[in-house]
Amino acid sequence: MTPKAQSLAVVVLAAGKGKRMKSNLAKVLHAVAGRSLLGWVLAAARALDPARLVVVLGKEMDEVARAAQPATIAIQDPPRGTGHAVMAAAGELKGFKGDVLVVFADTPMLTADTLRAMVEERRKRRAGVVCLGFRPQDPTLYGRLVTARDGSLLRIVEHKDAGAAERRIGLCNAGAMCLDGALLPKILARLRDDNAQGEYYLTDAVGIARKLGRSVGVVEASENEVMGVDTRAKLAAAEAVAQGRLRAAAMEAGATLIGPETVYLAHDTVLGRDVTVGPFAWFGPGVTVEDEVTIKAFCHLEGAQVARGAIVGPYARLRPGARIGRGVHIGNFVEVKAATIEDGAKVNHLTYVGDARVGRRTNVGAGTITCNYDGFAKHFTDIGADVFVGSNSALVAPVRIGDGAMIGAGSVVTRDVASDALAVERSTQSERPGWAAEFRARRAAEKLSRKG
C-alpha cells in the first residue's frame, strides 16, 4: 500500500536557528546543488502527495516562511524541543487520523523512497510509531535503537545513558518518525519536560506508544541519507553526496561526464542522451540540455536552454534566459544573457550577446558586443538570419539588423541596417609614407644621447 492510498500528513521541523553556521541566513535556507536544505526536504515530502504539509518555524523567520510556501506554517515560540515542535503543529493536524511523518529540515539527502518505506512499515505493522535508524561509522553521541528479536523497537537510549552492551549496538536514531495520527494526540499529551533541559523530546514517543499497547517499528537508511547539516563543513559534505547522486543519475540517463568529479550539477539539471560534458563545467539551476550537445571544459550555465546538437565552450557562460538553438556554436569566452541564438548560428569568440536575437545561420565575429544597457534601462538587439557581423563590432541597442546584412569589422552600429545591406562605420584610414622608419630613427638617436 502506498502513502497515496491513505491520507498522509508531513510535519517539517525547521525552527532551528543554526548558530553553528555563523551566518545571517537561516540554516535551512543554505543551498545544496542550487536548492535550499528546506527545499530538498519539502520536495521529498511532496513526492508522497501528502494531504497536509506543515512547516514548524520559530518566530521572526519570515524568510523561511516565504521559502516554505504554499505549506502551512506553525510557530514554535519559545522552542522547547522536538516534541514541543510537534505540539506547535498539532492545531494544523486536529482531527487528522492518517499517518503523520515528522522530518527535519536540515536533513536534505533524505529521499522520498525512505519516507514512503516508513509509512508502509507503519501500516504493515499497524504500529503506533516507526522510527528511522542508520548505522554510522562512529556511533558515539548518537542514541541507540534497542530492538527485539522480531525487529520491533523497544526503546531509544541516549549515548550518555547507555551501558556497555547498549553502546555496542550499531543501529542509531536518525530522528525522523512516522506516527499513527489517531494516536498522536495521546502521545503529545503524555510528553513531559522533567529533564535537565526542561524540553519535550519526540523520542519519548517510543516509550509512550509501547505503554499504550502499540508496537514500534524501525526503517533503516544509509548514513549519507540522514546526515544533518548544522555547520559549513557538513554543508560541504551534503553537497558532495548530492553531486554524487546527480552525476550518477546523469550518466545512467546517457550523458558522458569527462572527469565527473569536476562537474557540478544543480538539483534540476536535465542532460539529454549522448550529451558530453567536459571537465570543470558548472550547472546552476534551470538548465536543460537536449540530446547530442557538447559542453566543453570550464563552461558556466545557469537558467539556460541548449537545443540538440549545439556545441558550447570551452570557457563559455550562458546566463539566465539564454536560449541556444539546434546546431549552434558558442565558442570560447562567449557570454549569452537573455538572448536567443537561433538554429545554426555561430558566436565563436570573445563576444557578449545580451537582450538579443541572433537569427538562423548568422555568424557573429570575435569581439562583438551588443550594447544593451544605457545606464537606466536594457534595450533589445535584433539580428536577422544569414547576417555576417564583422569582428570587434559594437551594436548599440535598440537596433535591428535585417536578414542577409553584413556589418564591417570594427563598426559601431547605432541605426537599423536594411536586409542585404553593408554597414560600415569607421574613420577614414590615412597613410604617411616613411613615417615609421623616421620615427624609429629619431627615437634611437634620443636614446643614445641620454646614455652619453
Nearby residues of 270 by Cβ (< 8 Å), 6 or more positions away: 287, 288, 289
| Amino acid making up residue 284 | G
Which of these is catalytic: 30, 267, 329, 349?
349
Cβ proximity of 86 and 80 under 8 Å: no
Active site residue 349: yes
> Which of 219, 109, 116 is CA-nearest to residue 171?
219
CA gap 142, 12 in Å, rounded: 21
DSSP string, 225-252: TT----SHHHHHHHHHHHHHHHHHHHHH
Q: What is the 3-state secondary structure (H, E, C) of the chain?
A: CCHHHCCEEEEEECCCCCHHHCCCCCHHHCEECCEEHHHHHHHHHHCCCCCEEEEEECCCCHHHHHHHCCCEEEECCCCCCHHHHHHHHHHHHCCCCCEEEEEECCCCCCCHHHHHHHHHHHHHHCCCEEEEEECCCCCCCCCEEEECCCCCEEEEECHHHCCHHHHCCCCEEEEEEEEECCCHHHHHHHCCCCCCCCCCCHHHHHHHHHHCCCCEEEEECCCCCCCCCCCHHHHHHHHHHHHHHHHHHHHHCCCEECCHHHCECCCCCEECCCCEECCCCEECCCCEECCCCEECCCCEECCCEECCCCEECCCCEECCCCEECCCCEEEECCEEEEEEECCCCEEEECCEEEEEEECCCCEECCCCEEECECCCCECCEEECCCCEECCCCEEECCEEECCCCEECCCCEECCCECCCCEECCCCCCCCCCCHHHHHHHHHHHHHHHHHC
Query: How many CB atoms are closer than 10 A to CB 236?
Result: 11
- Residues with a catalytic annotation lie at 349
